[in-house]
Structure 1
Amino acid sequence: MASAFKSSSATLFNNPTLSDVKLKQIYQGKVREYYAHKAILCKESAFFLKAFTGKIREATEGVMKLHDDDPQHFEVLLKFIYSDKYDKDAITQLAADDKNKRVVIPIGVYAVADKYDVPKLYDPAAEDVETLLHDTDVIEGAIHAHYKDKNSFDGPIGRLITSAALGNGCFTNAVEFENLMISYPMLAADVGLYVRRSGRSSLDNLRIHRCPICISDSYIDPEAIFSYGEGSSLYCYICGTAQRMLEDW
């Protein structure tokens, strides 16, 4: 029954049939309009539920204006509300072979999901981000995307980015990483929390592992390695190659 409802509601995305509200999504002076349905929006979003059942203007008017969200990120959110599907293929097409944009989009999607209180979207967006953080340039792009307007720390995306950054020896050894922490205090806070929660007073206990494929060095936490169990694999943060764990790691 639930899948049938989602299948039928997906056909109503930006469809005037039974639409009882129009969303005007405004960004940098440009407007996108969507035919929407209050019942569908409220089912997944506490933000819309509060807006449409409260005493504010949007509760009675047929138009709701939404500001400051990247149009691509907002549309991914809206399609998810209607379909209950996180469409990685569509996001890949939006990125158009730009690997930095490919990670920026799910970071932005997570941010708008948080803004509009759509918790079902948190996990798929975060999992998407996590699978992409294996390249130095991508990690730096993720830092800029996540922390540029951030005034809070210790969030799920920040923890993922911090873990990937500190696992990449080439990245953290570069002076640019220190500059990023100076530029983004919330990144510095997340790094401090990661180190503290790892039970280390510094990063000195990490071992350096050299990838036999790309000959790049990465910091490896020995305790974390052996907690996975014999026969498990780790992924090089530079080239993404899976490698079986060795005793001398």
Structure 2
Amino acid sequence: MANTAGPASGAYMFNNKWLSDVLLRVHGTDGTIVEFPAHRERLVTRSAYFMKMFNENSFKEAKEKVVDLKDVDLKHFEIALYWMYTKEERDVEDETVAELLENVVLLYHIADFYIIPSLLQHCVDRFRDGAMQNFDSKSDEFRAALLDAADLYYKTCAETESSLGRCVVKLVQKVKWTKDDNVGDLQKMLKKHPLFALDYALETTRQNSV
């Protein structure tokens, strides 16, 4: 679809060489390299990572016209970059609940690394809303999707008491873990990820104190 946004809009400026003053050369985890013409002013106002990079003399990138970003998830980086220009998420294809939760966690990982506060909050909201729209405490498929998302989160970008971590734990605690197999899967996840177990315990304590 042609870009019909006006020249002043973020969508028009995204991936546009017009007035671009830096080229982001992004090296994907699969070896693919994609280049994005970008605008320092836009990057530094959305991302503390780029603010530090372009403001400090200790970083050679502060004056470079080309910046290399290594070992990057290209799909979700592009979504995050578009967000920095528009504060909107690009249209996504229909997703299963498992795909939705996985994509949100991966996008959160990018937003966390590049320190994009507005996108971090968006990811938390989208994870919660997406899970609640598909919530079925008796569905093995839903339980599996939720635990897979928890596994991915605590494997890639976990920190104690993060917004997304608390969101994940609250949803896990809403599910009815009644079957032996289901309870066993939850127990395995708690043992696998000590931070998950800690967040789970802290949330349980908060609920019991109310």
TM-score, structure 1 normalization: 0.71
Retained in 1: the 8 A contact 2:27–2:34?
A: yes
Distance 2:178 2:86 in 1: 38
Higher RCO (CA-CA < 8 Å; seq separation 6+) = 2
Q: How do residues 51-66 of structure 1 correspond to structure 2 at under 5 angstroms?
A: 51-55=53-57, 56-66=59-69
Q: In 2, Cα distance between the equivalents of 1:7 and 1:20?
A: 16
Aligned-pair identity (%) = 26
2:73 maps to which of 60, 70, 73: 70
- Are the structure 2 counterparts of residues 5 and 144 from structure 1 closer, same or farther at C-alpha, using a change threshold of 3 Å? farther
SS in 2 for 1:19: coil
| Match of residue 116 from structure 1 | 114
1:179 is matched with which residue?
Answer: 188
1:161-219: CA deviations, max 9, x gaps? 1111111113785201100111111111111111111126xxxxxxxxxxxxxxxxxxx
What does residue 198 of structure 1 align with? 207
Residue number among 171, 174, 182 corresponding to 1:164 in the alignment: 171
Native 8 Å contact 1:104 1:142 kept in 2: yes
- TM normalised by structure 2 equals 0.83
The count of residues paired between Structure 1 and Structure 2 equals 193
Q: Call closer, same or farther: CA 1:149–1:9 in 2, change over 3 Å.
A: closer
SS in 2 for 1:47: helix
Mapped partners of 2:157, 2:20: distance in 1: 35
Task: Choose between structure 1 and 2: higher helix proportion.
Answer: 2
Instruction: From the CA coordinates, give the structure whose radius of gyration is larger.
Output: 1
Unpaired runs of 5+ residues, structure 1, are: 201-222, 224-249
Alpha-carbon distance change, 10 to 151 in structure 1, aligned in 2, over 3 angstroms = closer
